[in-house]
């Protein structure tokens, strides 16, 4: 198949590389001249495990190319995917400016039948608006169909998620378009769920909101565990053993962040209010998520008394491990909270340091070159992102480098009893040292142990 993908960010670039890998001919279109030039020279603008290899391999095989021209992409493709940003507005609703702009640009150059696919996460009814816009601005009355094909990619293992999906959702009201989309996805050997366009658009927001609900639920439970001396890890294992519930996304921590969950929950709330069906449950999910970081900061204050001028080390800045994405990172928010209280923060992240420096996200923070450097002379250590390399460190050396052996584990990466035996004063999320023993008998959380590999 000949495919164009408009937008070469996380979703567009991964999708394009994976489509090329299974044999399709792909043109990735982006209006950023520098990005296109860099990609054509093999320079990948984001860190995603396995992505660079796929891009280089398929560019060399002439199955993947990059262009600034939407006209070139439309003229030379059967299917056009729209994968541009849909940022949040102040009220939580979605800014669809980029979607509308791309729809107009497609309309201006559309000459013959094409399938136009919304890959970006968009509010329900967006497909109808895209169709209306193309009809309004296309001067030759060219035939086309609009399809919704939401992505379910997790940063850090997006390549595997696309190559080995749980399901492929195709929202289409056209048999002609559906047949073409099934041909696009034929090489992936995954279940295809066919719906109408509106249902497909709702599936993405509903899915992300439910996952965020699970996270906020276990975080609410963690506060009860701390108040009663129970261990949230054991509670989560007991809950997750029920097949109706499952263990995934029941890991207590600092709360969810990133480019998807906060934006999608806010958008779903805004959508529900716009149609007159307020989603009060999701507002509580948001509140719990915000409160979780505030509870953690209080833990620091209660232990250290005054944060002003304290030397605090922070491990982790990205919103999750295995990515360099720092958008809406809880770790970044926490670092800024601590700095505002007058503390001297030294932070380290295996992939996020450069992003934080470029975007100036933490004014006043000192960025260390290693986790051990960050811990040097620290009066407390905060673990904010559960990078596996942190669990591989010699904790005895970490302890000896610190001024005070106090650890605030915001992701429950370490085992409380082990930390106590090593001489640390340890604070986790909903953890009880008396009920130690991490999931799967390891100090590494289950989500990391099961992390997809490429």
Active-site positions read 260
Residue 258 Cα distances to 27, 75, 121, 212, 400, angstroms: 28, 35, 14, 11, 34
SS3 call for 435 = helix
Which contiguous run of DSSP H or E holds residue 273?
helix 261-274
Exposure string over 356-394, b if 16+ CB within 10 A, otherwise e: beeeebbeebebbeebeebbeebbbbbbbbbbeebbeee
SS3 call for 230 = coil
Residue partners of 347: CB distance under 8 A and separation at least 6: 313, 314, 315, 316, 317, 335, 353, 356, 362, 365, 366, 367, 368, 374
Residue partners of 228: CB distance under 8 A and separation at least 6: none
- Tell me the CA end-to-end span of the chain in Å, nearest whole number: 25
- Picking from 81, 140, 67, 68, the residue whose alpha carbon sits closest to that of residue 109 is 140
Quote the Cα angle for 418-422-427, to 5°.
Answer: 65
SS3 call for 411 = coil
Pairwise CA distance, residues 151 & 45, whole Å: 20
In this structure, the chain runs to a length of 454
Q: Are 314 and 345 in contact (CB under 8 A)?
A: yes
Structural tokens at position 202: 């709702």
Quote the Cα angle for 367-380-412, to 5°.
Answer: 90
Structural tokens at position 276: 């007159």
Exposure string over 247-256, b if 16+ CB within 10 A, otherwise e: bebbbbbbbb
Longest dimension (CA), the chain: 75
For the CA atoms of 238, 241, 247, 250, the dihedral, rounded to the nearest 10 degrees, stands at -20
Tokens 């928010």 label which residue?
Answer: 333
Cβ count within 10 A of residue 168:
19
Cβ count within 10 A of residue 306:
10
């Amino acid at each position: 198949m000949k495919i164009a993908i408009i937008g070469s960010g996380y979703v567009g670039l991964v999708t394009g590389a994976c489509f090329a890998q299974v044999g399709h001919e792909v043109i990735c279109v982006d209006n950023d001249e520098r990005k296109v030039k860099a990609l054509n020279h093999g320079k990948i603008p984001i860190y995603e495990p396995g992505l660079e290899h796929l891009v280089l391999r398929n560019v060399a095989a002439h199955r993947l190319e990059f262009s600034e021209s939407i006209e070139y992409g439309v003229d030379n493709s059967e299917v056009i995917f729209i994968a541009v940003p849909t940022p949040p507005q102040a009220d939580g609703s979605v800014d669809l400016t980029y979607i509308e702009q791309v729809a107009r640009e497609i309309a201006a150059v559309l000459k013959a039948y094409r399938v136009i696919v919304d890959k970006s996460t968009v509010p329900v009814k967006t497909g109808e608006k895209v169709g209306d816009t193309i009809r309004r601005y296309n001067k030759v009355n060219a035939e086309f169909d609009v399809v919704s094909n939401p992505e379910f990619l997790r940063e850090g293992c997006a390549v595997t998620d696309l190559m080995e999906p749980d399901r492929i959702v195709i929202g289409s009201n056209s048999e002609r378009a559906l047949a073409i989309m099934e041909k696009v996805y034929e090489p992936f050997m995954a279940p295809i769920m066919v719906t109408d366009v509106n249902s497909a658009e709702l599936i993405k927001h509903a899915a992300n909101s439910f996952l965020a609900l699970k996270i906020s639920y276990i975080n609410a439970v963690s506060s009860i565990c701390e108040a009663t001396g129970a261990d949230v890890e054991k509670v989560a294992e007991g809950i997750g053993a029920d097949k109706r519930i499952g263990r995934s996304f029941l890991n207590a921590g600092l709360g969810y962040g990133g480019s998807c969950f906060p934006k999608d929950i806010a958008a779903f709330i805004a959508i529900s209010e716009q149609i007159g069906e307020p989603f009060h449950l999701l507002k509580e999910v948001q509140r719990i998520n915000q409160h979780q970081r505030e509870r953690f900061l209080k833990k620091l204050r209660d232990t250290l008394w005054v944060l002003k001028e304290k030397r605090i080390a922070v491990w982790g800045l990205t919103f999750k491990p295995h990515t360099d994405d720092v958008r809406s990172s809880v770790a970044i928010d926490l670092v800024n909270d601590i700095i505002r209280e007058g503390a001297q923060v030294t932070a380290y992240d295996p992939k996020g340091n450069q992003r934080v420096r470029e975007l100036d996200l933490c004014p006043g923070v000192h960025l260390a070159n290693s986790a051990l450097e960050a811990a040097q002379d620290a009066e407390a250590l905060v673990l904010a992102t559960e990078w596996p390399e942190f669990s591989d460190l010699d904790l005895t050396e970490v302890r000896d480098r610190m001024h005070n052996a106090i650890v605030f584990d915001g992701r429950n990466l370490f085992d409380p009893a082990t930390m106590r035996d090593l001489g640390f004063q340890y604070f986790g999320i909903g953890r009880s040292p008396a009920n130690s023993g991490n999931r799967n008998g390891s100090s590494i959380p289950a989500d990391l142990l099961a992390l997809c590999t490429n």
